[in-house]
Amino acid sequence: MTNFFSSNFKLGILGGGQLGKMMLYETRKYDIQTYVMDPDQDAPSRIACDFFQQGNLMDYETVYNFGKKVDVLTFEIESVNLQALVKLEEEGKKVYPSAKTLEKIQNKGRQKLFYKEKNIPTATFTRFSNKTHLTEGITSNKIKLPFVWKSTQGGYDGKGVSIIKSGADLVRLPDVECIAEELVHFKNELAVIVARTPSGEIKTYPVVEMEFHPEANQVEYVICPARIDNEIAKKAMKVAESVSRAFEHVGILAVEMFLTQDNEILVNEVAPRPHNSGHYSIEASYTNQFEQQIRAILDLPLGATESKVAGIMVNLVGKEGYDGNVIYKNIENIMKMKGVTPHIYGKKQTRPFRKMGHVTIVHEDINEARKIAERVKNTIQVISE
Ligand code: ADP
C-alpha cells in the first residue's frame, strides 16, 4: 500500500471552493500533500493546500497537465474537462470518482436515463435537445403543464430549474438542451450521503431533511436525522446505496430524494462529491464527510457514519440588496450560543443569495436544535460594508 502520510504522495483536487477548503482541513489533519487548481487566484482553498495553481477547469490541456503532476486526482465541482480525465485514466492515473461516473452525472438528461435503465425510482421525464422541440412537445401534448424544466447542463443551486405552469412561462427559458419532468408534490426533500471505496466497501450516513428558502430555491436548513419514520429512513438509505453501487461510484455520493405523499422515494439528482447536505457531519458525526472522502478515494478503511448528536445546518447566504465587501453582522451573538459553530468560506465579496458560509447547531435534542437554528438564522446577517 502506498504511504500517503507525511510522504511524497500527492493528492490533486480540481476546484478550490469551500468544499475543497473543508476537505483540506482533513488532509492537513492526516498530513497528506495536496495540489489544488481553480480559476480564481483567491479561491477559498488556497490557504490550506501545499501547491496552488490558477487554471481553467474546463480546458483539456490545463486539466491534463495538472493531473500528470499528482498521484490521485479528485474534484470538488462537476464542471471539469471530462476528456482530460478519460485520457489520464487511460494512462493509468487514479481518478476518483471516475470519468465514467462523472460522464453519467454531468448531464442531467443522461443521469435521469441512467436511473431508468437501472430501475432506480425517479420522477418521469422527457428529454428535449432544444427549446423548439420542447415547445413542440407541449403543443403536440407529448408533455402536459405544469412540469419542471431543467437545463441538462450547467445548473446548480436551482439556477437551471424552473416550474412551468403556462405557455407564458416558456418565454424566459434559454434555448438549451433540457428535460421536462413531472412536478412532484412531495412531503419532504431528503438526502443521503454514501461513501464507497475502490474495493467496494460502503458506508451510509443517516437520512437528512432539507428545508428550502421559498424564493432563492436554496437549502435553508439541513436537519439530521430527518424527522421521518424509521421504515422510510431505511428505505431511503437502501435506495441511496443502490445508486452508489449502480454508478460504481468511488468517494462521497450525495443522493437527493423526494418523499412523495404515498411514502415513495424518488431520486432527484446526485452530487459526486461532498455536499451541502453533509456539512452538519463536521460537528455532529464520528467521521465527517470530508475525512470520509479522503478515506474513500485513497481506499483506506471508512470511518463510522453515525451521529454523536443531532445536527442542523443553516446556510449563510448573502442578503438581498447587498453587494460588495462582506460583513458578518451579529456573528458574536451567535457565537455566544451553546453548540453553535460558524464556518466562513473566505469569499471576500457578497452578492444576493451567494453561499458565503454555514452555521452548525448541535444539541442532544433535535427540537431544541431546530429552535436554536431559527434564532441563528434570525440573528446573523451577511451584508456588505
Ligand atoms: P439543482 O441542481 O439546481 O440543485 P434540483 O434538480 O435539485 O436542481 O432542483 C432544485 C429544486 O427544485 C429541488 O430541490 C426541488 O425543491 C425543486 N424540484 C426539482 N425537481 C422537482 C420536481 N420534479 N418536482 C417538484 N419540485 C422539484
What are the pLDDT digits (tens) for 247-282?
999 999 999 999 999 999 999 999 999 999 999 999
Residue nearest to atom 11 of ligand 1 (CA): 158
CB atoms within 10 A of CB 264: 15
CB 177 near ligand 1, within 6 Å = no
Distance 161 CA to ligand 1 centre (A): 7
Task: Identify the pLDDT of residue 157.
Answer: 63
CB 286 near ligand 1, within 6 Å = no
Joined together, the cell numbers standing for residue 373 give: 437554528
pLDDT one-digit tens code per residue, 70-121: 999 999 999 999 999 999 999 999 999 999 999 999 999 999 999 999 999 9
Distance 257 CA to ligand 1 centre (A): 9
Which CB contacts under 8 angstroms, 24+ apart, belong to 98-103? 98/248, 98/250, 100/248, 101/247, 101/248, 101/249, 101/250, 101/272, 102/75, 102/78, 102/272
Between 6-15, 120-129, 209-218, 359-368, the lowest mean confidence (pLDDT) is in: 209-218
The answer to whether the beta carbons of residues 67 and 84 sit under 8 Å apart is: yes
CB 123 near ligand 1, within 6 Å = yes
Joined together, the cell numbers standing for residue 70 give: 499528482
Average pLDDT over residues 57-74: 98
Higher pLDDT among residues 218 and 228, named by residue: 228
- The three-class DSSP label of residue 87 is helix
DSSP code of residue 285 = B
pTM: 0.97
Average pLDDT over residues 335-355: 96
% of the chain residues with pLDDT over 90: 94
CB 189 near ligand 1, within 6 Å = yes
Q: Give me the sign of the Cα torsion angle 100, 102, 105, 110.
A: negative
Q: Could you tell me the maximum CA-CA distance found in the chain, to the nearest angstrom? A: 63
Q: Which atom of ligand 1 is nearest to the CA of 182?
A: 23
Cα 347 from Cα 158, distance rounded (Å): 21
Joined together, the cell numbers standing for residue 123 give: 420522477
Residue 219 pLDDT more than 90?
Answer: no
CB 183 near ligand 1, within 6 Å = yes
**pLDDT band for position 158 (50/70/90)?**
low
The answer to whether the beta carbons of residues 289 and 305 sit under 8 Å apart is: no
Average pLDDT over residues 143-148: 96
Q: Which of 161, 217, 261 to mutate to test the pocket of ligand 1 (most atoms within 8 A of CB)?
A: 161
The answer to whether the beta carbons of residues 278 and 252 sit under 8 Å apart is: yes
